[in-house]
Structure 1
Amino acid sequence: MKLLRLGARGEEVPVVRTDDGRFLDASTIAADFDGAFLASGGLDRLRAGLAAGALAEFDAEGLRVGAPVARPGKVVCIGLNYHDHAAETGSPIPSRPVVFMKDPGTVVGPYDDVLIPRGSTRTDWEVELAVVIGRRARYLTGPEEAADVIAGYAISHDVSEREFQLEFSSQWDLGKSCETFNPLGPWLVTADEVADPQSLGLHLSVSGVKRQHGNTRDMIFPVARIVEYLSQYMVLEPGDVINTGTPAGVALGLPGAPFLRPGDTVDLSVDGLGAQRQTFAQA
């Protein structure tokens, strides 16, 4: 299934997009696509409703696309998780996942404007595969258990301000948690429809110039290992989002490449998960 939320901010309606491109209203089954929906077996109820033909057609024409998961409890991120990205930044290959947190309030829709912070000169792009947790996870013991707690996958844009991230603090969070810094979506593709999360192409261009072209097979720590690892140190709750890292091609690793400026547009996609587009504006 492809789950998305359509409508103005704070008024989004949960909708299912079918394989033939139709939109179906899921609001009779789900008040929203959020942690409570996932925790209560919502995906199973939704599948049953689809099979029974219980979802009415929904007119999506002209509606804003919101993030596919409402109000995630936390956004956990993995840094330096692609071999080529670690190399371009001059960093050693990490022996354990590099973990940082991002303010959940940064999560916005995939086509919403992104605001460049006041005082920023080094706002950067990062296309990533996002994992959405479907049930409570703690102390997982292997990749099979880890895979079993994943509700689905989405495109995440882990926007970063490099000066705030690397020069203003010993923690990365300042450069990661600025408002609008995590467009998510357009939809959540349920895990059963992603045959292999380690064989997905990632693509990003800035104002028409190709910048990133990678594949999840080049991750240092694969998806299941990341989920298992995080569960040893924090409880993962339904609706939590995990950003799994970015491949090479960010401005930080491209000498002479311009950082993002007001008016720039960023297009990004992940194979099988759709595409995003944002215009950048001054905060």
Structure 2
Amino acid sequence: MNVTLGVILALSAAFVWALASVLSKVSMREVNPLSLNVIRLLLSALFYVPLVLYLGVPSFSALQWAILVVSGVLGFTLADWFFLEGMNLLGVSRAAILVTAHPIITMFVAHYTLGRPLTLGLLLGAFFIVMAVLVIASEGSRGGGINWKGLAYVFSAQLLWTFAVIVTDWLVVGESAFAVIGLRIGFGALASLAFLPRIEDDVRKLNARGWGLVFIITLLGTILGQYFFALALKFAGSSIATPVTESSPIMASIMAVLFLKERFTGRLALALVLTALGVLLISLYA
């Protein structure tokens, strides 16, 4: 029952992340990726940190606190920013498919560091997802060539996310998932304050509609999405919960094509089919 609930929570996180990604692309017509990431982190911290303090701060060792701080900075301050930069350059659909390599890395690391299961079904699902990533990575941009800068941003983001997910998986054992994710966001927001001088102009030019859009993105992607995912990690473990959330690229790609009018090419269609097969296999055999 716990694993089933974990899968449901992971799918819920995937949906709100997909919707937040599409809305983020719309928001970045007015603000740059760094500004969007800093603002949503600060808004998220205003929600999470007071509640964590009210409900009770976990009793971590000095080492655990140090790892918590580092994972928050790497996973939220840097990785989320890198992904937004990559998404801005590549488009929602292509950036979303590319980050499906992230759960594959997580599956293997979680298996060898935390003893999470790694079955033949998981490996077969991973194969299809890797093929989808290769198809999209080799696709040229609208201008004709491969956007190496966009690829570098996205792949850097998923390496940092992998570390952050493994750490979160370890920290939530015996502790409140809400507290762990809230503290990580809080430390990520604290680190983002260093970028305030660089985003000052963007913040000034945001109108009421822009602030409303950023608030919705924050509510969906950082507050609800991260909380759903943290609970999914607690109930199902990272080797199951993380791959299941990779239904998010499929949802995001469809939304981007429908609502943002992004290019729907044969390569994107093939990548979506491969990703769907991979996610299905992983969900069935996890």
TM-score, with normalisation over the residues of structure 2?
Answer: 0.24
Answer 1 or 2: which has greater helix percent.
2
TM-score, with normalisation over the residues of structure 1?
Answer: 0.24
Structure with bigger RCO (C-alpha 8 Å, 6+ apart): 2
Answer 1 or 2: which has greater strand percent.
1
